[in-house]
Structure 1
Amino acid sequence: MAISITFKLVLGGAAMTMTPLTAESQTAREQAARGQTGQTHAGQAHTGRADAGRVQADRMQALRAAIHPVSTAEETRAWLSRVPVTHDFPPDFTSMLRGQAPLYMIEISTAPGCVPCGDLWARLLDFSRRYGWQVRTIGRQEAMLRSGRLGLPWVGDPVAWVRPLGDPDRMVPVAVGTDHEANIARNAWLAAGMLSGARAAVGVRAMSKFTGIVGTRAPASSNPRGR
């Protein structure tokens, strides 16, 4: 129940396309490779285009299945109970994350009546008190523009990014939908590492996958017990 999608990391002014390694993305690459090979023959070229269309359709279907709009605290808790909590931290994780506090901040999109926005904001306040990082909210319009720059499909609020304090144009997304604080902390640490020069491909693969638990103003039938 996690989002695994291609997005761009805006690092040092350059946009780099990264895809977390999953079975679905591996299948997509294999099918795309078969399509490229088939382009040398007319009949195989047609098969390659058909494969590419199926891959795109499969990716869109997977993305829709990974989005869980919620409108109540009960629905939010129900979906969060299905999200794995990371326990993989280096021994000096706390000191490293606190050491990054003067350099980076987390920004979160929000909207009126968005229940998971309030949930994630409360978790980020706990994160801020524990590690000393600054956190702030941004509006939906700015969030949508930012998501477009990164190649993230807009699926709803909240979305959270890590960025350097002195450079609003370099950022790494760390959450699409609310999440457990442990997952947010690990993603923030990895994002800071990527923004300071660590290999982006390694950081993206190590991140906790985005949950897709986003807000909706309309009543939602997203209770996992009902699916």
Structure 2
Amino acid sequence: MKDLLEPLIYPHNLVLLGLLLACIGYRKKGLWLLLIFYYLAGNSFIANQVRSAYSAAIANSAMAQGSQLLVLGCGGSATALPACAKARLSDAVTRVNGPAALLISTEYCQPYVDYLLGISQQVVVDCFNGGSNTYQEFATIKAKGLTPDYILSSDYHAWRVQQLVRYHGLPSKVLASSSQTFRPVNCSYNCFFTVNLSNFDLYSKLMAEFSSYAVFVLTRDWTTWYSAAEQGNS
């Protein structure tokens, strides 16, 4: 009974209930459309199907022994390393599973190198300034003539990274570092009449990825935003 009633008093589910009552009271088509959109976007059963389909589309392949792995950067500064970067580097160490050479593309190399060597003494690191965004990173990879066997990024970036691999004609396979975003939400009997905030986060990240790539496609021929990064100390 607790699992059934407790989610109903969460703020986002009170909003769902309020929308339903407003629809019944005012009988406006616009309100019904808003209710349907809010429910479908927040419903865990539907969102889990989306998670499953996306995960299947970016399914990882096992790394062959002796392959070259390039880890894409995940922001940060000259002194700080974000959690997503730590997750990627930890995943990279797990995947190579032994002595190996890793390439890292990021705007600020030192925090990445320090963290990687702190968790594994078996890797040889080659880090270069890839620029401040993924598009610059790929332009830099292409300009440097690099052809890594595998490129590692976060799962919610993997689709966009796959498109950039194809656009630049690289032979690389894309590996996705797992994040909380695509882990299925527990869905029991109550998930059919409640919404979950994590599902809104899922769709917002997917929309951000698709929108970002759409802007790249529309502007790549007449802007210099995506030029290769200037090389130097980072």
Please give the range of the TM-score, normalised by the shorter of the 2 chains: under 0.3
Where is the helix percentage greater, Structure 1 or Structure 2?
A: 2
* TM-score where L is the length of structure 1: 0.27
